[in-house]
Amino acid sequence: MNNISYNKLGVMIDCSRNAVMSVPTLKRWIDITTSLGYNMLMLYTEDTYEVDNQPYFGYLRGRYSQKELREIDDYAFKHGMELIPAIQTLAHLKSIFRWPAYIGINDCEDILLAGDENTYKLIDDIFASLEKTLRTRVVNIGMDEAHMLGRGEYQRIHGAENRFDILLNHLKRVAQIAEKHGFECIMWGDMFFRLLGGSYYEDGAVPERVKKMIPHNVNLIYWDYYSTDKEHYLKQIESHSAIKDNIWFAGGLWSWTGFAPHNAYSIAATKAAFNACKEKNIKNVFVTMWGDNGAECSKFSLLPSLYYAAQIAGGTEDIETIKKGFYEKYGIAFDDFMLADLPGTANEQEDGVVNPEKYMLYNDCLLGMLDSTVREEDGGKYAECAAKLKGLEENQSYGYIFKTLRTLCEVLSVKFDIGVRTRKAYKNRDTAALRNIIADYKRLLELIDNFYNAFKEQWERENKPNGFEVQDIRIGGLVTRVRHCMNRLEAFADGRLSELSELEEPILDFTGAGERLNCKPIRCNNWGASASVDL
């Protein structure tokens, strides 16, 4: 193994967006990552871990029991890996606020009520539980993206106050509680920049008084996975280092925009970021693997990116050397595994990250909200993708992932442009064409069922059962809606309906260009926004 230049090189797995990785799967993950030189595993658990005195914290969400966390910690320790909890102590706690037990400490949206003693009682219970459960004395306390901090119940109680002061006073209390239980803290660094009035990645000097108020046992994490430009990362590292020394860096392996990974973009971003970190002598680095809006993507589908990141960290940048090592280790060609990207890139989008495999799966067949992104040849490209992926299903360790992606591509080979074809035949009053398309609807129902079964198998192999009810609702709703659309088309073709009002309204561009349709893929990682304007 190459000489890793970091004190900590880790991976953070999102266990809060429906998918909670099972204990056996985490052990498998530890085996894979330690063999690559990673020495840290961070579990992002907003409320999916057991906290003493808090029975509703993570209730029914598949939370890790303290016994499970000890088992994971023991296994990680045995393999030379540090298990670090990544929790939330300010925002991103929407799930707990559905319960009456926590309504009294909700500022607004997903944010805790700063300054309330019941808030700090919860946080003390959290740290007390972590103290007795895990070996590590480092905790990622979160505190990112609290955009509306102090603008809800806090403002009603205290009036409008300086939001920097609210953040810093809350951070001070959290740091004191952490220190009481023997912990050092790291926190996402964005709020120090956002509260200046800009975005995270814009220039902005943090006032000296703010720097001096950051507790001694808190270090900042610069998180960024949106650029492939090394200079961008160098500039942002300097901005964060001006606030406090010894910052951490968190990059990203793109697992959070739908069913398919984005290895190619992840590799390009990781190369730029890690080289910047080396140049700036950043010693603690990890890559995040989020699961936004459903956690559909298998974390194992990012194996090429995971391997590449470890190689870059160890000083190997020659891609042919990396590919050769990957094949020797896993028995599958690097470029073959990269085909997992295909469902999200079938229409050859080269710039950034798009996710047509998700939004076009759920795009309504008649209303066609996202039909403005479709090109005529896209459906056929998904048939080609399915054929390429099928040959990889025989792999004993990872074939199930390619089966999920292949069956999804088979769905999209029919569904991707079915709305466009339906509307065209309807407008032309071409009954023969409509009857052919109705046959596609019937076939589509079978293909969705095949995909559902493959996806369910993938989930059950990797995650706890909790959270899959969301997929049942989404895919089950899709099946019902496809059948309903088919029935309406049949009624029109048979003359039982004189018109279909859904198809009378012209398609407008989803990105706002009116009747000038973009006909290019976009990023829309939201089931509700894809499925209906009424969600």
Measured at the alpha carbon of residue 154, what is the angle toward residues 152 and 160, in degrees to the nearest 5?
90
Q: What is the spatial distance between Cα 305 and Cα 535, in angstroms, rounded to a whole number?
A: 34
Q: Within 10 Å of residue 51's Cβ, how many Cβ atoms?
A: 22
At 390 the pLDDT is 98
Q: In whole angstroms, what is the distance from residue 35 CA to residue 222 CA?
A: 26
* Count of C-beta atoms within a 10 Å radius of residue 246: 11
Angle of CA points 343, 404, 38, to nearest 5°: 85
Tens of each residue's pLDDT in the chain, 535 residues: 456 789 999 999 999 999 999 999 999 999 999 999 999 999 999 999 999 999 999 999 999 999 999 999 999 999 999 999 999 999 999 999 999 999 999 999 999 999 999 999 999 999 999 999 999 999 999 999 999 999 999 999 999 999 989 999 999 999 999 999 999 999 999 888 887 666 666 666 677 877 888 999 999 999 999 999 999 999 999 999 999 999 999 999 999 999 999 999 999 999 999 999 999 999 999 999 999 999 999 999 999 999 999 999 999 999 999 999 999 999 999 999 999 999 998 666 555 799 999 999 999 999 999 999 998 788 899 999 999 999 999 999 999 999 999 999 999 999 999 999 999 999 999 999 999 999 999 999 999 999 999 999 999 999 999 999 999 999 999 999 999 999 999 999 999 999 999 999 999 999 999 999 989 999 999 999 999 999 9
SS3 label, residue 381: helix
Would you say 290 and 324 are in contact if contact means Cβ atoms under 8 Å apart?
no
Helix (H) / strand (E) element for 453: namely helix 431-462
Exposure string (b/e) for 96-127, b if CB count within 10 Å is 16 or more? bbeeebbeebbbbbbbbbbbbeebbebbbbbb
**How many CB atoms lie under 10 A from the CB of residue 185?**
23
User: What contacts 434, CB < 8 A, 6 or more positions away?
Assistant: 422, 425, 426, 489, 492, 493
Q: Report the pLDDT value the prediction gives residue 351, as an integer from 0 to 100.
A: 59
pLDDT at 316: 97
What token pair was written down for 42?
Answer: 């961070």
Q: With helix as H, strand as E and coil as C, how does 184-212 read?
A: EEEEECHHHHHCCCCCCCCCCCCCHHHHH
Query: Residue 1: its pLDDT value, please?
Result: 46
**b/e string for 333-365 if b means 16 or more Cβ within 10 A?**
ebebbbbbbbbbbbbebeeebbbbbbbbbbbbb
**What one-character DSSP code corresponds to residue 223?**
E
Q: What whole-number distance in Å separates Cα of residue 499 and Cα of residue 132?
A: 66
Coil, helix or strand for 311? helix
Separation of alpha carbons 214 and 244, rounded Å:
8
Contacts of 13 (CB under 8 A, 6+ apart): 21, 26, 29, 41, 42, 43, 44, 289, 299
Name the region of 492 (left: φ>0; alpha: ψ -120 to 50; beta: rest): alpha
Domains of the chain: 8-304 (3.20.20.80), 344-531 (1.20.120.670)
* Strands 218-223 vs 248-252: parallel, antiparallel or unpaired: parallel
Q: Decide: 510 and 372 in contact? Cβ < 8 Å.
A: yes
